[in-house]
Structure 1
Amino acid sequence: MRKSKVEAAPAAPAEKPQTKKSRVLEMLNGGGVSVAEIADKMSISKQAAYSLIGDVKRGGAAISGVMKDGAMRYSVVQPKRAKAKTLAFGKGPVVSEPASTPLVAD
């Protein structure tokens, strides 16, 4: 006798658990946080916390550190925008016309 296959309804996709790197990024976005605070909240070593801050930095976030109450506190800072004057004098992003096509001799 054949067994009938009963198909279960597909389960709703569960939310992905946050990665350690994304949790550190949230802490850095929330304001100044020290390495010791990151290590305590995530139950990791201080060296692992330093490593995660480096991972966030390598991911493209601009991170600033300020010494406060004897501990370095890190946070994400917004990148500075170039002023119009620096762009006018060519010190900003380079925008030029496309290269001209070479003339062909007849």
Structure 2
Amino acid sequence: MSKSKTEAAKPATKKSIVLEMLREGSVSVQQIAEKLSISKQAAYSLIGDVKRGGVAVNGALKDGAMHYSVGEGKKPKAKAARAFGKGATVSDAPSFQTEAN
């Protein structure tokens, strides 16, 4: 038998919920922890997971607590943007001649 092409949608993960909250605007760790019924440390861990997923997360201190939101991606620095090995080349020949006696 073949499966139907419409399958049930996957339930939202905690990481996807945190990403959604960050995209909506500034959110504190306490707000994340309360919404997901988890500890503050677990909320920090989820923010780190979102960051490691390639999303630029910005933090700002507001009312004595850090508030996080999704921001623009960082632009690479000029030095980091250069390709490796584009500098001077190294020759296989020795730079000076030695005489054997």
**The two structures share one fold, judged by TM-score above 0.5:** yes
Please state if 1:30 is matched with 2:18: no
Give the match's secondary structure for 1:22. Answer: helix
CA distance in 2, matches of 1:80, 1:10: 42
Structure 1 residue ranges (4+ consecutive) displaced by more than 2 angstroms after TM superposition? 9-12, 90-95
* Cα 1:46/1:92, change in 2 over 3 Å: closer
Question: One-letter code of the match for 1:53?
Answer: I
Q: Which runs of 5+ in 2 are unaligned?
A: 84-101
Kindly state the Cα deviation for residue 94 of structure 1 after the two structures are TM-superposed: 3.3
How does 1:24-103 map onto structure 2 within 5 Å? Answer: 24-81=18-75, 91=79, 93-94=81-82
CA distance in 1, matches of 2:41, 2:9: 29
Give TM-score, length-normalised by structure 2.
0.69
The residue that corresponds to 1:102 in the other structure is none
Q: Once the two structures are aligned, what percentage of the paired residues are identical? A: 60
Give the match's secondary structure for 1:75. Answer: strand
The residue that corresponds to 1:18 in the other structure is 12
* Cα 1:13/1:76, change in 2 over 3 Å: same
Question: One-letter code of the match for 2:8?
Answer: A
Q: Which runs of 5+ in 1 are unaligned?
A: 1-6, 96-106
* Cα 1:64/1:11, change in 2 over 3 Å: closer
Query: What is the aligned length?
Result: 84
Give TM-score, length-normalised by structure 1.
0.66
CA distance in 1, matches of 2:70, 2:14: 16
Give the match's secondary structure for 2:81. Answer: coil
CA distance in 2, matches of 1:92, 1:10: 48
